[in-house]
Amino acid sequence: MAIWLDETSKILVQGITGSEGRKHTARMLRAGSKIVGGTNPKKAGTEVEGVPVFATVAETIEKTGADVSVVYVPPAGTKAAVIEAIDAGIPLVVVITEGVPVHDTTDFWAYAKSRGNSTRIIGPNCPGIISPGRSNAGIIPADITPQGRIGLVSKSGTLTYQMMYELRDFGFSTCVGIGGDPVIGTTHIDALAAFETDPDTDAIVMIGEIGGDAEERAAAYIEEHVTKPVVGYVAGFTAPEGKTMGHAGAIVSGSSGTALAKKEALEKAGVRVGKTPSETARLMADVVRSL
């Protein structure tokens, strides 16, 4: 099995006719993903990589049965694109776009919640989600790792790729890049809960970073609810106070949000935490070999 995305998923691409939409549609198709349609109201009736373009998300769902949307719309149009997908009732929206205003993300996240939260949002500013050998929705390279039994949830796209590569001898059930913005649609806890109930995930890697308290909250959740082994890494041990590092949400204010505080919280919950990505991968390899 996998979480949220598998070989039955039917993906539509919002922004399919733009340069990024075209490029990554081709990459997802090569990875074996079922891309059934795309949207651009000005170019409805055309095709991209053999994929039909429709005017709206609702029409795409009606004509193709799409149940996942990947958003490659520029920041100014992202809020409208996500709300359109929510209104159409699609179960999963993966928002790749970087630079989405935080108040826009807050608006469409709150809108999803007001609709009963029937639509899961991953992102924005994320690499997407991949279930190796099954489906790929986003920009994660599909050839890094094979299918396996490790689950991965990460704020960082680059560290997602590195961890997948370093653990390629074991493989992954699903890898989820949740994004590093201050407001995101899917959290570490959401992914941890899904991996905990997935019968084909035996162990979990969790990658966090400085800023906010998401990792501390995840640690408390792990302590209470997760029975599977979890190995973690927190990026940003040497980050200076008050300086944003990479992601918009990666900023330390006083003693709040430091890598050390997050590491201590995770270790208190029984999570083995690596000092580097490579050490984290070695810790997980040891865990998998012992299962």
- Residue 194 tokens, joined: 């899904």
Residue 87 carries which side chain, given as an amino acid letter? D
Catalytic residue flag (residue 103): no
Q: Given this structure, which CATH class describes domain 144-290?
A: alpha beta
pLDDT over 80 (residue 200): yes
CA atoms within 13 Å, Cβ hemisphere of 289? 8
Topology of the domain covering 11-122:
Rossmann fold (3.40.50)
Pull the structure tokens for residue 180: 């590093």
- pTM reported for the whole predicted model: 0.92
Residue 20 assigned ligand-binding role:
yes
Choose, from 24, 103, 188, 247, the residue flagged as catalytic.
247
Pairwise CA distance, residues 71 & 50, whole Å: 19
Q: For the chain, which residues make up each domain, given as ranges?
A: 11-122, 144-290
pLDDT value at residue 101: 97
What number of other Cβ atoms are within 10 A of residue 217's Cβ?
Answer: 14
Position with higher pLDDT, 56 vs 260 = 56
Say if residue 18 carries a ligand binding annotation.
yes
Beta strands 135-138 and 120-122, pairing class: unpaired
Instruction: Read off the pLDDT of each residue in 270-287 and give the average, rounded to a whole number.
Output: 96
**Do residues 95 and 120 touch, judged by C-beta distance below 8 A?**
no
**Could you read off the pLDDT of 218-254 as tens digits, one per residue?**
999 999 999 999 999 998 544 444 444 444 444 444 4
Tokens found for residue 281: 């991968």
Looking at residue 197, its pLDDT comes to 98
* Annotated binding residue 17: yes
Of the given ranges (158-162, 230-234, 242-246, 271-275), which has the lowest mean pLDDT? 242-246
98 in a known ligand binding site:
yes
Average pLDDT over residues 192-198: 98
Domains 11-122 and 144-290 alike in fold: yes
Structure confidence at residue 15 as a pLDDT band (50, 70, 90): very high
Provide the Cα torsion 215, 126, 78, 39; round to 10°: -140
- CA-based torsion, 98, 103, 106, 110: positive or negative: negative
